[in-house]
Amino acid sequence: MSNVAFIGLGAMGSRMAANLLKAGHDTTVYDLSQDAVKKLQSAGAKTADSPREAADGKEFVFTMVRDDEVSRAVWLDATNGASAGMKNGAIAIECSTITPAWARELHDALGKKGIEMLEAPVSGSTPQAEDATLVFLVGGAEGTLKRVENVLAALGSSTRHAGPTGAGTLAKLVTNTLMGVGLSTIAEMIGMLRRHGVDAKQVLDAVAGTAMWTAHLTNDTKSMLSGDFESKFPIKLLAKDLGYTVTTAGGDSMVPTVSAVHNVFLKAMDEKLGDLNMTAVVKLFANDKRINK
């Protein structure tokens, strides 16, 4: 089994690190949250006091953090960054949703230190992280991916090689953008159906029999209609990802539809919904006591 570090123990990262332990990998973890660290320590993980210490001498180093800025600090901080502790030939695996520009910059910076890199953002939320059924959207060299495949197998059900560095992050942004547009549309349609006084579930059940429907929409609609907004993927993170898509595409005028949807999720944040599950965006459109409680 492999000698692995995992940095970033939020809702996704904590579950991924736990699955590495279950698969028998020698796993060292780091996070600012000591509660998250202690929980994994009790499951058999080794712990570290900095990203650098966690990564020291490891063959594979994973990160799952919030954004470009945190990723930069975790990897490249001159004193405590993970890259300062990694050996020549080790592999950095960035699972966070970042911009392709930062992914390429990080790849170049790590390469100068003799460290290989894969970007491996995931499709899936906390249930898939828990069940080790994530889909990895990988950018990087095929040879590097082959070295990592056995470790990724402990975390996901599928690995899709999107192309060179930057392509994996682009694939993730496309995935989350499609999700955001679909969510916003369904939320608006539920609002429309409510205003027409019909049974929204019955109408959408009819639509679900068409080619336009997906399993993802089934789950999201159930959440919206029931008012169950337990956070699996919060609005604030989807808003961040949509913002990355707009920036990556070249600005609002290049992706007007995405820009409009981004503004919907920013409005949801203004309405103090940012910590709720992404499906809570329906609160902006549906006048329903159960939804708007």
Of the two residues 1 and 281, the one the predictor is more confident about is 281
DSSP conformational letter for 96: S
Nearest partner of 58 among 1, 140, 2, judged by Cα: 2
Tell me the pLDDT tens digit for each residue of 229-261: 998 899 999 999 999 999 999 999 999 999 999
User: Which helix (DSSP H) or strand (DSSP E) does residue 246 occupy?
Assistant: helix 235-249
- In this prediction, residues 262-276 reach a mean pLDDT of 97
Which phi and psi (to 5°) does residue 60 adopt?
A: -130, 135
Q: How far is CA 94 from CA 62, 77, 141, 195, in A?
A: 6, 16, 14, 45
Global pTM reads 0.95
Q: Is the pLDDT score of 69 beyond 80? A: yes
Tell me the pLDDT tens digit for each residue of 165-198: 999 999 999 999 999 999 999 999 999 999 999 9
Beta-strand pair 91-94/156-163: unpaired
Which pair of structure tokens corresponds to residue 275?
Answer: 């910590």
Query: What homologous superfamily is domain 3-165 in, according to CATH?
Result: NAD(P)-binding Rossmann-like Domain (3.40.50.720)
Q: How far apart are CA 77 and CA 99, in angstroms?
A: 19
Which pair of structure tokens corresponds to residue 232?
Answer: 């699996």
User: What is residue 71's predicted lDDT score, i.e. its pLDDT?
Assistant: 98
- In this prediction, residues 120-142 reach a mean pLDDT of 97
248, 228 in Cβ contact below 8 A? no
Single out the catalytic residue among 58, 172, 240, 283.
172
172 has catalytic annotation: yes
Tell me the pLDDT tens digit for each residue of 9-43: 999 999 999 999 999 999 999 999 999 999 999 99
Tell me the pLDDT tens digit for each residue of 71-124: 999 999 999 999 999 999 999 999 999 999 999 999 999 999 999 999 999 999
Tell me the pLDDT tens digit for each residue of 197-217: 999 999 999 999 999 999 999
Return the C-alpha torsion angle 86, 87, 93, 97, nearest 10.
Answer: 40
Give the residue extent of every domain in the chain.
3-165, 173-284
- Residue 94: strand, helix, or coil: strand
User: What is residue 223's predicted lDDT score, i.e. its pLDDT?
Assistant: 96
User: What is residue 1's predicted lDDT score, i.e. its pLDDT?
Assistant: 82
CATH 3.60.15.10 for domain 173-284: no
- Give percent above pLDDT 90 in the chain: 96
User: What is residue 286's predicted lDDT score, i.e. its pLDDT?
Assistant: 86
293 pLDDT band, cuts 50/70/90, is very low
291 pLDDT band, cuts 50/70/90, is low
In the predicted model, what is the mean pLDDT of the chain? 96
